[in-house]
Each structure stands twice: as C-alpha cells, then as structure tokens.
Amino acid sequence: MEISSEDNNLMEKVLPTVEQESDVELETKVKKYLRGEGANLETLKDKKLKTQLASREKLYGKSAKAAAKIEKWLLPAEAGYLETEGLEKTWRVKQTDIANEVDILSSRNQYDIVLPDFGPYKLDFTASGRHMLAGGRKGHLALLDMMNMSLIKEIQVRETVRDVAFLHNDQFFAAAQKKYAYIYGRDGTELHCLKERGPVARLRFLKNHFLLASVNMSGQLHYQDVTHGGMVASIRTGKGRTDVMEVNPYNSVVGLGHSGGTVTMWKPTSQAPLVQMQCHPGPVSSVAFHPNGHLMATSGKERKIKIWDLRKFEEVQTIHSFHAKTLSFSQKGLLAAGTGSFVQILGDSSGGSSHNYTRYMNHSMVKGYQIEKVMFRPYEDVIGIGHSMGWSSILIPGSGEPNFDSWVANPFETSKQRREKEVHSLLDKLPPETIMLDPSKIGAMRPSRRKEKPSRGEIEAEKEVAIEAAKSTELKNKTKGRNKPSKRTKKKKEMVENAKRTFPEQEHNTAIKKRRIVEDAAAELPTSLKRFARKN
Amino acid sequence: MKIKTLSRSVDEYTRERSQDLQRVFHNFDPSLRPMEKAVEYQRALTAAKLEKIFARPFVGAMDGHRDGVSCMAKNPNYLKGIFSASMDGDIRLWDISSRRTVCQFPGHQGAVRGLTASTDGNVLVSCGTDCTVRLWNVPRPSLEDSSISSENFIEPSATYVWKNAFWAVDHQFEGDLFATAGAQLDMWNHNRSQPVQSFQWGTDSVISVRFNPGEPNLLATSASDRSITIYDLRLSSAARKIIMMTKTNSIAWNPMEPMNLTAANEDGSCYSFDGRKLDEAKCVHKDHVSAVMDIDFSPTGREFVTGSYDRSVRIFPYNGGHSREIYHTKRMQRVFCVKYSCDATYVISGSDDTNLRLWKAKASEQLGVILPREQKKHEYNEAVKNRYKHLSEVKRIVRHRHLPKPIYKAMGIIRTVNDSKRRKEARRKAHSAPGTVVTAPLRKRKIIKEVE
C-alpha cells in the first residue's frame, strides 16, 4: 500500500515538459486578467467580511483562469508576423515582396491614392477601423468605407482644413477649418459651427467621455461635450501656440507638445497641467501614446525619438534617427515615425518590462511626397499615410490586434448594431471628473488624511487665543482730538468682535454656501428627479 | 521569409442568412477596455437609479372583511390561495392572482385568533376568543374560474368547545396534531374533541405557538410572562425557557436552518436565536419603532418579513441588523399579520383597516415571464450595484427610502434617547472603578434568565 502511494506521488511530480511550459504561459495570461494584486486579507479583523472577501477573491481567480483559457483556445484569429531567415533583415523587406507572399484580400490594402490638387492630407479612422476620414489642406473632406473601398461622401469646403476627427462613430465628424471648427453629418451636411473655440489647430475626440478636445491657434485648450454641446472647460495653457496634441487612450489625458521642448498633460477639471516634462532641447515635433498608457514617444528637431515611461516619468530609450514629423503607435505596440517621404516602423524586440525599440520595417515613397500624418488602422495590419499628394496605405505585418470584441468595436457592424451601441455608450458616458492620471483609483479607498480636521475643543481653544490677542493689542494714541475714550472702547470692541466672528462665521458661511449649491442643483433638475436632490 | 498578415473574410464574421442570429466575438483582454472601472461605476450609478425608478412594490389590496384582519394562514399545497380571518369571526379564502374571495367560512362568534392549514392542505383549523376550535374542509380549487366570483358558504366539519379562549394555533408538519395556545398549551388530534396532551409552565397564558419545520416534535411558544419556551413532544415536557424583558408577540422558525428561530418582540426588535443555545441572541434586528406584531420567513430562509404596530411592513435579511426594505401606505393602519408567499415573490399583510395588501418582495422586480437576456441584464445590474454600493453616491441612492412622518420622527427620538443613554453609561463607566460597571452585549441585554 505504501509503495503504490509513493509511486503515485512520483508520477505527479514528473510532468511532461510541454505541459509545464503551457502552465507557465497560462500563469502569465491569468496575471493579465487578474488586473493587479489581490487584497491583503490578513489585516482584517472582521471575520464575516474576511470570509466574504476571500470567497470573492476565489471567484476572481476562477474568472481570470477561464478568460485565459478562452484566450488560448477560442480566439478566432492570430496575429500577423514577419519572420526572416538567415542573413535577411526585416527592414530590407519591401512592400512588393510582401505583396507577393500575402493573399489577395490583404494585398488590396496596399495602394496609393493620388490627389495632388488638394494639399497634404490628414487622416482619421473610426475605432473599429472600418471607416476613414481624409481631409486635405485645401478643403477636401472624404469619408470612405475601407472594407468595400468605397467613397461614402466627399465634400469641398473651399477653405483650409487643418485637422479632421471622427466623433463616436462614422455618422459624425469634425473638421478644423480656417476660422472655426465644424461638425458634419455622414451625408456631408454641416451640423454645427463651433464658434467658441476660434481657429483650431488640432482636434481629438475622447471616446468614453464624449468630449471633443481641441487646441487653437492661441494655445487654448477646449473641451466640449458633444451630447449636449456645453463647453466643459477652456484652459489657457500659457505656453503659446502649438499644434502637437494627442490623447492618451488609457486615461483620456491630453498631452500637448510645446515649442520650449516641454510636454504637458491636461485634464478638463483643472486649470493647471497635471504633469510637465522637459523632453527635448528644442520644440517638440510630435507626441504619441502607447495604447497601454505606460509609454509615450516624443520626437524633436534634434533628430531623436525618445521613449518615456509614464509611470515613473523618466526616459526609457533614445533612438537616434531622423526628425520625425509624425509618430503613431499601433495596437500591438509598433511605433511608426514619418518624415519627408520616408516611414520607419520600430518594433519592441524584447517583451516584458524593458522596452527596446529597433528597426522593424522601412518604406520610402516617391521623392516628392511630403508625409503629413501616419496612423495605424485599428484591427488591421495596415498603416495609413497622409501626404502632400494624397494618401497611401501599406502593410505592416503584426501591427493590428487580431481579435476584436463585438461590444467594444466591431468592423462588421450592421446599422442596427451601430444604433444599439450608440445608446449603450451614451448610457455609459463618463463625467469629465473621471479623467485622471491613474484611472484605477476610481472605486478604491482614499488614503487617510494626514492632517486631521481640528476638533471642536481645538477650535474653541484657538478662538480663546484669538480673543485674548485682540483684547491685549495696544491701540495707538491719536492726537489732535481724535483720541476720545468712547471711540477707543468702540474700536476695541470691534476688534474683539472681529476675532470672535471669524470662527462661527466660517461655519455659517459654509452652511449658506452648501444650501445655495443644493438649491441651485435642485432648481436645475427636472421634476422627476427632484426627489434625488439632497435636502439638508 | 515567412509573412502573415491579418485578413478577415466577411463570411466568417457575418451571418449567413437573415434569419440567423448575428455573430458576436469576445476578447476579454483588459487592454481593449480603457477606463473599465469608471465605466463600471457609471453603470452601478445608473443601475441604482433604475432600480428606484422601477420600485413599485404595491400590487393590490384585497377588500372584503368587515373588521380588522387578525390572522392569516398559507396553504402549503396551493400557491395562489391564502386564508385570512378577522376580528368579527369571518374567515375567507382568497385567490391572490385575482385578489378576490374564493370561499367564505363564517362561523366564529368572536374574534378569530389563530388560523392554520394542515400540511396536505385539506383541513383548515381556526380558533378564537369564543373558546372554540373549528375544523373546515378546504374546497379543492377547480379549473373553471367561474366559481371564484360566487362566494360559497361552508359549514365547519367539526367544532370543539373548550374551557378557555384561544390565542393561537399551529399545525404540525407531516403529522396529525395541531397545537392551540390559550391558558396552557394543548395538543389536539383532528378526530378527538378534547386535547390529547397539555403542557403548562407557570400560570401565564400562552400567546403564540409555532411548530419546527425540520423536527416535527419540536415547537416554540411565547407566553405573557415575557418568556419563550421550547417544547419537545417526545419528552412530554418543556425543554427550555428563557425570560426576556418584553413580551414576544410571534415566533417563526427558519425553514432552511430549522434550528434557528426569530422572535418578534414588543419592544420593536426581532431577536434571532439558535434553538440549542437560547441564552444569547444570534442577531438583533432593530428597525421598527413600535411593537412587532407578526413575523414570517421566506421559503429561501434568507429573509423574513415583519409587520408592526407602527403601520409598516419591513423585510429583514436573516443575519442583518437592519431592514432591507420598508413598505407603508397612508391607508394601511396597524399591521397585525404578515405572510411571505411560498414562491418568495410576494408579501401579504393584513391590517386593522380590514384590508389584506399584496406587496412584491423585491420592489423593482419585473413580474411575469422574463427573457433570458433580460434576466442576465437584471443580474448584471444587481451585481455591479452591489460592487459599488459602499461608495457615497451609489449608497445614497440605494439606501433612500421615504418614511412616513410619524415613523421618521419616532426614529429620531429613539436615536437621541439611545445616544443619551449610551453617553450616560459611558460617563458612569469612566468615573467608576474599572470593572464595576459592565455593559452587557446587545444580544444578551434583553434576556433576563434562562430556566431549565
């Protein structure tokens, strides 16, 4: 009996190596789905709460394991790749070589659209990557369906267009034109003229909050809620004109690059920047944020691209290259830098925490083309390049996320699904106060106040001290008949009254303020919601 | 050189025919969902608000009695029916779905104090202040609804007269005996006109009686000497007795944990006891401001409903100190009896204003057939609301209940009284020698002694 149990133990320990490796893989995947460390339950004294939380933590573990298994077995597509053998280098691979090796559907994604008359083109994609908006400097706006390669609508607005951006879906887009920014519908009708902002240099849309952010020609930052049209914030940055603005997709913070070499990060609820970083000795040409929110790439005129870690705000890597006029990160973490008529794609060769971006692919276009913007297309291995002669699209294997989630972004959306999604995303619209550097703090415990509020005894003591001080001040002896005793006593009484008044008046004032705020809030509410207004 | 690029064929990702469902794809990667916690919090807020919008707990009132409703009984075999009896001797069988009287059993001369149905649902036992116990044959519910409108009058199948007025009656589970409470505790058989067994401990009258659902020979009673006694029929004597500070109006056993019982007390709180260890309450449920008249457990054993003299009905969790829900109406006067329906969906309250009222147990629940998608959405809303219900904005909405002014004011007064008591106690303790002033824990405070 004992011998057989020992044998069993031995059998359990000696696992085949393949299974062990897959266990390790599963562990890393499970960690990703666990979203951080579990709570420390040892410090709890409440037994009921402890058991409740322990069972909840177990459920989290189970769901993370289930999600990891689904990722391993059930996802329909796999990421693209480019692997070279022997002495071949990946950056020597040309688009023509790729076209030979790849299927027809993919090779349809390589093209050049030549429109020389209408100036350098700026691009924007919808979140699902299905629709593209191209805006030429001389006023050409075109809305395209990338799946069918068809033109949905093109309009000529006959003034300069500096930037274009989609709103929450392909039904609406915004264009920054010569004097104001305009919002158009899908069929090209002008819906709104946004006069408050002035001449806009850059437009970006914050998806979760339905905020249209823009920076104008005098360096002012505007946030407008597109659901009700109200201006949420207008911030004077104080750093002068800039047209380098990007949105960090992880925490919806807007990053501006300035001519002094600083990059500042803003949120709509504060007039001062969240972070100011000195990135380059000269003006910052372009900024790009990694989708996981931890990395930022900046480029300056001194022909360097710097990669920054946003958790510690320090530099991770410097790439000595060319003066990159435009930068973009892909969903899988590839960095594209464009200048002149040359695009370079950099890839992260080491996985994990240390980042090491090296050359992955290059692409040079016809000599005369001046690249205006590069942007990776979501969920596809494609990068869109807007340049002075139109726009192009080339294949970059391994840049797009292979598996989309139908509830986040669905490239094969029907109109019914689009309408439903619009309603659901409106219900989930976040208020602008949720924009912060670390969004995981929402719902977490607030750290205990280091400075305690003064207790009533302490306030009384302070009051006594203030009254004593007021009583013991010596008044100046005035001359020329101004030193009447009645006036002196009146003045002393006044001083003591002032000293007394500062204390209760504070409480009284705050109470008045609170009541006023509550009344205002209650007055603004529609009648059906009046019962939720706080009555004090 | 090996190259692969993403290419999705439209056929794989869209449906084949228009009668198919749309294809959906999942990717649970957290990096695809930025700001997921903020979105979840927003959904919790919306879920809390929606719950309040859909909270309409009052279903209807059943009108018919001519005097205040004194007691009710559930028919364990028939979900839709409920028996109720009033202070003028009128007993009715109601159909809950149509809220009408199916059958009327008139007969008692005075107030009917206790009502109970046998486990097979065929016999209804009622007892009253006219010193009689009457047994009735319950009519079988027929398939045609036409008989519901006509009120049938039925004669009792048996009437037993005894020496004293009765206060309560309860029928044994899976047995033939029923117990009546009056001057003493009597055990009766259906066929005998005299009690089979009698128990007495002390000289005070027994007010309420309840058989244990799990152990058919165990029953708990409460008497007017402020005691709760547990009897075992096999021992033919009382097992245990505790004396409290105030009288217990009603007792209910937990159907899912039959060793636990909850007592509805005259001081406005309910005390949950473990039947094996009566010297300390397991939990004190305090929210009523006046005497709690009746208590009934939900068949899930997780909640119980109480009706109180302060014109409100409250639903408590079985292990929580405060009520989850309060139901009140301007027209509902003193609530004398409550019952939780056998499918845990409804709560029925009988009150002094001659009406029985039907309430939903979960105020914002959608009744009727729910699609699986709707059910999942409800469950998701419930789960996300529970995750964030400790945060101030969500908590404010979830906790909000409108209280009638007398109850609100009474609660304020009770709070100040308790605060001042506590402060005085704390000062006494601080100014006495350590160890001389001992505060008893709340669970033991109201229990005077335990007697064997």
Which residues, including other chains, have CB under 8 Å from residue B448's CB and lie 6 or more apart?
B226, B242, B243, B244, B245
In a mutational test of the B interface, the residue from A428, A437, A446 whose CB has the highest number of chain B CBs within 10 Å is A428
Q: Which two tokens stand for residue A531?
A: 């019962």
Say if CB A401 and CB A378 are below 8 A apart.
Answer: yes
Q: A295: burial class by Cβ within 10 Å (0-12, 13-18, 19+)?
A: buried
Has residue A3 got a pLDDT over 50?
Answer: no
Has residue A5 got a pLDDT over 70?
Answer: no
Which pLDDT does position A321 carry in this prediction? 86
Give the distance from CA B101 to its chain's centroid.
23
Amino acid symbol at A14: V
Task: Report, as an integer, the average pLDDT of A169-181.
Answer: 95
- Any chain B CB within 8 A of the CB of A406? yes
Which pLDDT does position A2 carry in this prediction? 46
Q: Which two tokens stand for residue B46?
A: 């919306």
Q: Which residues of A touch B3 (CB under 8 A)?
A: 80-83, 93, 98, 101-102, 397
Q: Which residues of A touch B34 (CB under 8 A)?
A: 208, 249-252, 291, 293, 439
Give the distance from CA A161 to its chain's centroid.
24
Q: How far apart are alpha carbons B89 and B127 in whole angstroms?
A: 10
Q: In terms of pTM, does the model score above 0.95?
A: no
Task: Report, as an integer, the average pLDDT of A459-476.
Answer: 85
Has residue A1 got a pLDDT over 70?
Answer: no
- Which residues of chain B register pLDDT less than 50? 146-149
Look at A397 and B39 and tell me if their CB atoms are within 8 Å. Answer: no
Alpha-carbon distance A65 to nearest alpha carbon in chain B (angstroms)? 12
| Residues recorded for chain B | 452
Task: Report, as an integer, the average pLDDT of A78-106.
Answer: 90
Q: What share of chain B is helix, strand, coil (3-state, %, to 5)?
A: 20, 40, 45
Has residue A373 got a pLDDT over 70?
Answer: yes
- CB contacts < 8 A, A to B, total 143
Task: Report, as an integer, the average pLDDT of A493-512.
Answer: 75
Q: Which domains, ranges and CATH numbers included, belong to chain B? A: 10-54+373-399 (no CATH), 58-367 (2.130.10.10)
Which pLDDT does position B155 carry in this prediction? 80
CA distances from A357 to A88, A323, A344 (A): 19, 17, 12
Q: Which residues of A touch B29 (CB under 8 A)?
A: 32, 71, 403, 405
High-pLDDT (> 70) share of chain A, %:
92
Which pLDDT does position B113 carry in this prediction? 93
Element (H, E) at B295: strand B292-297
Q: What is the pLDDT of residues A518-528, one digit of tens each?
A: 777 667 778 78
Has residue A335 got a pLDDT over 80?
Answer: yes
| DSSP 8-state secondary structure symbol assigned to residue A230 | -
Which pLDDT does position B415 carry in this prediction? 95
Has residue A517 got a pLDDT over 90?
Answer: no
Q: Which two tokens stand for residue B203?
A: 């000289």
Facing residue for A428 by CB, picked from B5, B10, B43: B43
Has residue A251 got a pLDDT over 70?
Answer: yes
